Amino acid sequence: AQRIFSGIQPSGGLTLGNYLGALKRFAVAQDEGIETVYCIVDLHAITVWQDPANLRHATRELAAGFIASGIDPARSILFNQSQVPAHAELAWIFNCVARMGWLRRMTQFKDKAGKHAEEASVGLFAYPNLMAADILAYHATHVPVGEDQKQHLELTRDIAIKFNHDYGVDFFPVVEPVIEGAATRVMSLRDGTKKMSKSDPSDQSRINLTDDADAIASKIRKARTDPEPLPETLEGLEGRAEARNLINIYAALADIAPEEVVAEFGGQGFGAFKPALADLAVSKLSPISAEMGRLMQDVAEIDRILGQGAERANALAEPILMQTREIVGLIRSR
Ligand code: TYM
């Protein structure tokens, strides 16, 4: 049977990239009746400094974002990572499986640590091992993510393969990354070659899930484009990263293929397309941000949901961790 696992970091707010690349697809998988486990990865977030009060707020706001995006805590398991100890314990075992050379190749570490790798936390370096533990603690088979997580998922596969090989078992599944749809890599509104990111210094570069209608419309109006009209076919997007990005965003928001967007808007200028995109974005995102605001009125209820999710997650992960200890030779006599 399929079991889906995915996670999002509670570090800063949610962007349109997180929504289209992850949250929206998480809700679709849940609605297809697949078993879905969704995790707010607070232990990943603290690999870089997080103010404790901000971390608590961001964790609750992300929970609200999941629910407002259609994740139903009765049908999906929704919880924060640190409430389920199996993640950290399995990560330690994987620290001893993964090789230094594998982690040194991770481009996200190189990007995040930059020139100051000696100053980066050990946790930031070992981050992908914790991510492998998140997934493998549930024997998840499928992991929906955006394009930027592809390399980490390859490492997860390598860890599962090496663990199985070293211990002579067929225990951890080799997971399938699910990187699908028009919006697996939503780009910055200011630079079509850069990923839309919550850490970009320019707020104009991204749409935040909490932006109001005016902010969304104004950011789309000011989004960088070229002077040409929209092409009639997708081949006409060659070398037009900004145009491609806006078309992909439209397609993903409207649940249609990019081909259909150019069929409708081909030949028209951005002066016509941008207002249509802004209207569409506002109509899809405003209800989500309103619902997030409503849910954040009652953080005790959010904490209760996370606690219940953690109990259910623990019930799945604990037996797998127990078997892992047995395989590795760690005595458990109580
Ligand atoms: P994070 O928190 O950076 O992002 C959460 C999800 O959003 C996707 N995403 C995007 N998709 C399309 N376009 C964008 N511009 C964009 N920006 C972000 C990400 O690909 C991701 O799916 N390491 C992960 C969190 C994690 C995880 C896991 C994921 C921890 N453990 C286990 C899957 C399975 C991360 O930092 O995602």
- 213-268 confidence digits (pLDDT tens): 999 999 999 999 999 999 999 999 999 999 999 999 999 999 999 999 999 999 99
Residue 191 confidence (pLDDT): 95
Structure tokens at 88: 């950290």
Substitution site in 94, 124, 145, 147 for ligand 1 pocket (most atoms within 8 Å of beta carbon): 145
The residue-averaged pLDDT of 187-212 equals: 96
Report the 10 Å Cβ neighbour count for 12.
16
Ligand 1 pocket residue status of 44, Cβ below 6 Å:
yes
Tell whether the model's pLDDT for residue 1 goes beyond 90: no
Residue 75 confidence (pLDDT): 98
Percent of the chain at pLDDT above 90? 96
Ligand 1 pocket residue status of 192, Cβ below 6 Å:
no
Ligand 1 pocket residue status of 6, Cβ below 6 Å:
yes
Contact present, 23 and 65 (Cβ < 8 Å): yes
The answer to the question of whether 147 is labelled as a binding residue is yes
Tell whether the model's pLDDT for residue 8 goes beyond 90: yes
pLDDT grade for 76, boundaries at 50, 70 and 90: very high
Q: Which listed residue (24, 195, 219, 284) is catalytic?
A: 195
Q: Rounded to an integer, what distance in angstroms lies between the CA atom of residue 20 and that of residue 73?
A: 20
Tell whether the model's pLDDT for residue 29 goes beyond 90: yes
The answer to the question of whether 114 is labelled as a binding residue is no
- Which amino acid is located at 166 in the chain? D
Report the mean per-residue pLDDT for the chain.
96
Cβ-count burial 148-184 (b if 16+ within 10 Å, e if not): bbeebbbbbbbbbebbbeeeeeeebbebebbbebbbb
pLDDT grade for 334, boundaries at 50, 70 and 90: confident
pLDDT grade for 52, boundaries at 50, 70 and 90: very high
Q: What is the ipTM of this complex?
A: 0.99
Tell whether the model's pLDDT for residue 279 goes beyond 90: yes
The answer to the question of whether 314 is labelled as a binding residue is no
pLDDT grade for 38, boundaries at 50, 70 and 90: very high
Tell me: the pLDDT tens digits for 173-185? 999 999 999 999 9
Tell whether the model's pLDDT for residue 310 goes beyond 90: yes
**Lowest-confidence range among 107-121, 168-182, 300-314?**
107-121
Whether 284 is a known active-site residue: answer no
Cross-strand pairs, 39 = 7, 79
Ligand 1 pocket residue status of 175, Cβ below 6 Å:
no
Residue 59 confidence (pLDDT): 98
Q: Rounded to an integer, what distance in angstroms lies between the CA atom of residue 16 and that of residue 304?
A: 27
Whether 195 is a known active-site residue: answer yes
Domains of the chain: 3-178+298-328 (3.40.50.620), 203-293 (1.10.240.10)
Name the closest-CA residue to atom 16, ligand 1. 17
Q: Rounded to an integer, what distance in angstroms lies between the CA atom of residue 179 and that of residue 265?
A: 26
Question: Helix, strand, or coil here: 129?
Answer: helix
Residue 31 confidence (pLDDT): 97
Query: Quick one: which of 54, 71, 68, 67 has its CA closest to 11?
Result: 54
Structure tokens at 188: 């910055």
Rg for the chain, CA atoms, rounded: 21
Q: Which listed residue (150, 162, 194, 198) is catalytic?
A: 198
Distances (CA, A) of 228 to 42, 188, 234, 247, 271: 44, 19, 14, 14, 11
